């Protein structure tokens, strides 16, 4: 085993067979921790975001935080019940991309998919940066190491998620539920003290810098809507649940909405009752200020809440690690992202998607210096875009199918679409100049990239297609007593490039065997039928790969084949198509390159590549 393989096994663990996929599912309790950590953690800063806007209008304006929070909780309820309808209609997973594409068309679907991708990347960036800020605020000496610390936390989250769905669920349950319970205790103690009169009587006197206007209130509302980020994650991750998936997902979504609504509204009410005033640029959060007021300066439980908040902010990024790879899988499956993102890794997670997310978040952390305030203006545009398109798509679906109870369902999704459209407009209008324009520009650029990738895959498929090739009849190859030049032809897919490689094998070899690897996705009957029409004179051996590796079964077969033909030179023939431009090769698995490297390590002596130029 190579050094890389040893390190990988130590960090990620042993490979799991595809048959264990059903076991790598989440219970409702574990799913709440894995898929809702982003939404639940937002109570640590959503109220603060509202107050940071309101303080500009003086002490009297801070009372607006309560009705604004009530409006956000009502919006949360609308979104939760709307997504419950989506899960019911799409029991195998109804993310915004799938719903919008099926019901509104290709471009709206890609806009929804691109919006969610951006939001998931920003979620990791914001969550890790916020958690690191909490740490560096407590230990100022670490502030100069902000970016390296952020990158370390991203790496640790990546490794935890590469270990598999079930292990990451078990890992994140304790911090998530610790945070939820600690906030509920804080709220309970706070209301008890309020009932017994142990609260400050007045707000401090604040200077009035702005007047209260509709735009001003809407700006505070849009800031508080960060509380809704991550709500769609359960709808995207239905297939991560144990059976019955859709029922468990709907129940978990309802629990998540109730817990989030109670915590968010409770903190806002207490912040208003205890006259908590955040200051722009201060390091201490509203939750910390509230904890000091309710619990006292040196109460151990205050520090316990701070640690729990730190952990949940760091782990909030896990919602993206759970759903971003699945979204990439759907887009890659449909040809809009590199196909590598559709492959299951050793631990039955979409490992390439996890790594891709980590790299993107790491780049943003470096660009923005790990500063939360620099990234926040970009936040929530993507998620409300996907909210709107998903709900609009569901309305059209109900009107088209008209199944039992469709009117009530269409009404619920219609209200959700209207509400999220209004909020999206408010967010774009209030945050555009602060940085939201970057996301507004990035979404169409991403959609253009999706379409270009799809166009490339379509071109490749047309060039390699066997359409128009008539059945070929080859004279059966006579068996000889002495084999002087045996050959193995690696068949990835039966296409024009493969036919040329097989024709080359006939020209040099007196014994030929073709091999193909089934990682669980091959239609064996269809492949064998087409093989008999085109290459009946050469036997085709289909190798099982329960661990989804393409390289290892081929290398093992070649080793056995060369051992059976000791004393002569065996040729391994690998078909490979060559793209028009070098950068297009990034969109393909490069199996031929990795296979040749592995065969060279195993000391296979003759390895030939038959190139097919596109």
Nearest to 351 by CA among 330, 326, 333, 331: 326
pLDDT at 188: 93
pLDDT at 306: 81
CA 154/CA 143 separation, integer angstroms: 17
Return the structure tokens found at 400: 């088209």
Say if residues 379 and 71 touch (Cβ distance below 8 Å).
no
> What is the location of CATH 3.40.50.620 in the chain?
486-613
Looking up tokens 């040196």 gives 298
pLDDT at 96: 83
Low-confidence ranges of the chain (pLDDT < 50): none
> What is the location of CATH 1.20.1740.10 in the chain?
36-456
pLDDT at 202: 66
How does pLDDT run across 570-597, given as a tens digit for each residue?
999 999 888 888 888 888 878 888 888 8
Helix-, strand-, coil-residue percentages of the chain, each rounded to 5: 70, 5, 25
> What is the chain's Cα-based Rg?
28
CA 12/CA 9 separation, integer angstroms: 5
pLDDT at 438: 87
pLDDT at 490: 92
Phi-psi region of 148 (alpha: psi -120 to 50; beta: other; left: phi over 0): alpha
What is the reported pTM?
A: 0.81
The CATH code of domain 36-456 reads 1.20.1740.10
What are the beta bridge partners of residue 606?
571
Checking DSSP bridges between strand 511-518 and strand 606-613, what pairing results, if any?
A: unpaired
Class for domain 486-613, per CATH?
Answer: alpha beta
φ, ψ of residue 513 to 5 degrees: the values are -135, 135
Q: How many residues does the chain have?
A: 614
Long-range contacts of 111-114, Cβ-Cβ distance < 8 Å, separation of 24 or more: 111/385, 111/389, 111/443, 111/444, 111/447, 112/385, 112/386, 112/389, 112/390, 113/327, 113/330, 113/331, 113/336, 113/450, 114/382, 114/442, 114/443, 114/446, 114/447, 114/450
Burial status of residue 429 (CB atoms within 10 A of its CB: 0-12, 13-18, 19 or more) = middle
């Amino acid at each position: 085993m190579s050094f890389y393989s040893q390190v990988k096994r130590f960090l990620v663990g042993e490979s799991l067979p595809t048959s264990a996929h059903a076991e790598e599912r989440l219970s409702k309790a574990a799913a709440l921790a894995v898929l809702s950590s982003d939404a639940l953690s937002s109570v640590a800063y959503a109220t603060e975001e509202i107050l940071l806007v309101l303080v500009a209008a003086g002490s009297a304006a801070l009372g607006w935080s309560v009705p604004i929070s009530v409006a956000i909780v009502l919006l949360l309820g609308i979104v939760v019940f709307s997504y419950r309808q989506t899960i019911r209609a799409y029991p195998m997973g109804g993310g915004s991309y799938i719903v919008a594409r099926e019901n509104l068309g290709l471009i709206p679907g890609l806009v929804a998919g691109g919006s969610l991708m951006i939001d998931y990347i920003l979620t990791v960036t914001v969550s890790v940066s916020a958690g690191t800020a909490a740490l560096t605020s407590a230990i100022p000496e670490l502030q100069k190491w902000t970016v390296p610390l952020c990158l370390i936390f991203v790496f640790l989250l990546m490794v935890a998620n590469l270990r598999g769905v079930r292990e990451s669920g078990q890992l994140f349950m304790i911090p998530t539920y610790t945070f939820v319970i600690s906030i509920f205790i804080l709220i309970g103690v706070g209301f008890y003290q309020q009932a017994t009169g142990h609260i400050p009587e007045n707000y401090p006197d604040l200077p009035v810098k702005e007047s209260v206007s509709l735009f001003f209130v809407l700006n505070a509302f849009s800031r508080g809507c960060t509380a809704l980020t991550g709500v769609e994650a359960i709808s995207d991750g239905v297939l991560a649940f144990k059976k019955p998936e859709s029922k468990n997902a709907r129940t978990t979504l309802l629990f998540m909405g109730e817990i989030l609504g109670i915590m968010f509204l409770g903190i806002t009410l207490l912040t208003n009752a205890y006259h908590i005033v955040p200051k722009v640029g201060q390091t201490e959060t509203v939750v910390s200020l509230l904890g000091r007021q309710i619990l006292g300066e040196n109460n151990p439980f205050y520090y316990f809440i701070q640690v729990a908040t730190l952990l949940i902010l760091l782990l909030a990024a896990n919602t993206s690690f759970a759903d971003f790879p699945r979204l990439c899988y759907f887009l890659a499956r449909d040809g809009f992202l590199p196909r590598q993102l559709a492959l299951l890794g050793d631990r039955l997670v979409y490992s390439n998607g996890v790594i891709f997310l980590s790299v993107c978040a790491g780049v943003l952390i470096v660009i923005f210096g790990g500063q939360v305030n620099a990234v926040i203006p970009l936040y929530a545009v993507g998620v409300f875009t996907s909210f709107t398109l998903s709900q609009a798509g569901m309305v059209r679906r109900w009107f088209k199918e008209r199944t039992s109870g469709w009117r009530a369902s269409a009404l619920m999704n219609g209200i959700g679409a209207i509400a999220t459209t209004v909020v999206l407009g408010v967010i774009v209008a209030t945050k555009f100049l602060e940085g939201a324009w970057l996301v507004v520009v990035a979404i169409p650029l991403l959609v253009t990239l999706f379409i270009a990738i799809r166009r490339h895959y379509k071109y490749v498929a047309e060039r390699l297609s066997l359409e128009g090739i008539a059945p070929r009849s080859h004279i059966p190859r006579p068996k000889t007593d002495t084999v002087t030049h045996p050959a193995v032809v690696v068949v990835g897919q039966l296409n024009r490039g493969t036919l040329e490689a097989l024709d080359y094998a006939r020209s040099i070899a007196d014994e030929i065997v073709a091999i193909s690897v089934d990682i669980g996705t091959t239609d064996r009957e269809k492949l064998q039928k087409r093989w008999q029409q085109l290459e009946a004179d050469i036997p085709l051996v289909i190798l099982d790969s329960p661990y989804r590796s393409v390289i290892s079964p081929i290398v093992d077969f070649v080793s056995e084949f060369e051992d059976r033909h000791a004393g002569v030179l065996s040729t391994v023939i690998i078909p490979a198509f060559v793209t028009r431009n070098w950068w297009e090769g990034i969109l393909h698995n490069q199996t031929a390159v990795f296979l040749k490297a592995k065969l060279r390590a195993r000391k296979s002596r003759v390895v030939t590549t038959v190139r097919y130029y596109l």
